[in-house]
Amino acid sequence: MRALAALARYRTMNTLDQLKQFTTVVADTGDFNAMRAYAPRDATTNPSLILKAVQQDAYKPLFTETVAQHRGQAAGFVADRVLVRFGMEILKIVPGRVSTEVDARLSFDTKATIAKAHDLIALYEAAGISRDRVLIKIASTWEGIVAATVLEKEGIRCNLTLLFSPIQAAACAEGNITLISPFVGRIMDWYKKRDGKDFAPEDDPGVQSVRYIYAYYKHYGYKTEVMGASFRNVGEILALAGCDLLTISPDLLNTLQGMNEPVERRLIPATKAAIAPIKLDVSEPAFRYAFNNDAMATEKLAEGIRAFAVDSAKLEALIAA
């Protein structure tokens, strides 16, 4: 009877609530007011999302107040404090973690990435926020992965972003990094442009990439969490139901909340894959060669770093103004 009652309750849930039965839902936005309606556990931000948020009337007072507190300081110094201030506000809403991103312009500098991560964590801790509630978000370059490996040993948890290939995922897992964010929609964008066609969710190259990484991790017993990101439609999201985490924009969270479609778990945390994936060599030469041979991953990583760097510079220009 209890099982039947539980099944009946499940069938009356909206699609978002059903998804939460299998997957940790994360809000992908700097607009923390938009999070309240969807009750995500965690939240992710990036320079583009924060730039968009600070230009909204609702957040201008928070932005101006933070800038005024540090008047006369360098724009980059103040930008870090703006990112952390938004992170602090987000943590008042979500019960879990917030991801705060290291400046993309440091993506190829291991030492500078580590130093910036130390600065960001120090700001959170000075505000009374435990480091276990913060994920330092770093681009999945070789240098970024090395930096994150060092930081994890220091107890600073990391989220490796702009991840487009299995070799990036394998290197992160070997580094015992807390979490990775494979970019589903941006992978699909590249293949859509190349092939000149749309993809159904089951054929979506971004969905297939995350499914492969998830199976690879579970087969080899890695503890690194997989968080699908950068979704273009709800079909991609539902095709990854059961993934460790999914970070979703408010627009798509709203769509899922308004749906009553049944959700089927698609990713199962089996200890061994039916067909064992080949263990990848993640030495630096092998990593660089494999990544170089993946045209999609190479192009999308470079494009993502450039875009985040541009928005970081725009944020600093707003501060300077």
Task: List the catalytic residue out of 20, 116, 137, 218.
Answer: 137
**Residues 6+ positions from 19 with CB-CB distance below 8 Å:** 25, 237, 238, 241, 246, 256, 263
Cα end-to-end span (Å), the chain: 65
Cα distance between residue 21 and residue 54, in whole Å: 33
| Angle at alpha carbon of residue 270, lines to 269 and 271, rounded to 5° | 115
Q: At what angle do helices 284-292 and 295-320 cross, to 10 degrees?
A: 90
**Tokens coding 200:** 């159904």
Cα distance between residue 308 and residue 321, in whole Å: 20
**Residues 6+ positions from 152 with CB-CB distance below 8 Å:** 158, 175, 176, 177, 178
The verdict on whether 192 is a catalytic residue reads: no
Just list the catalytic residues.
137
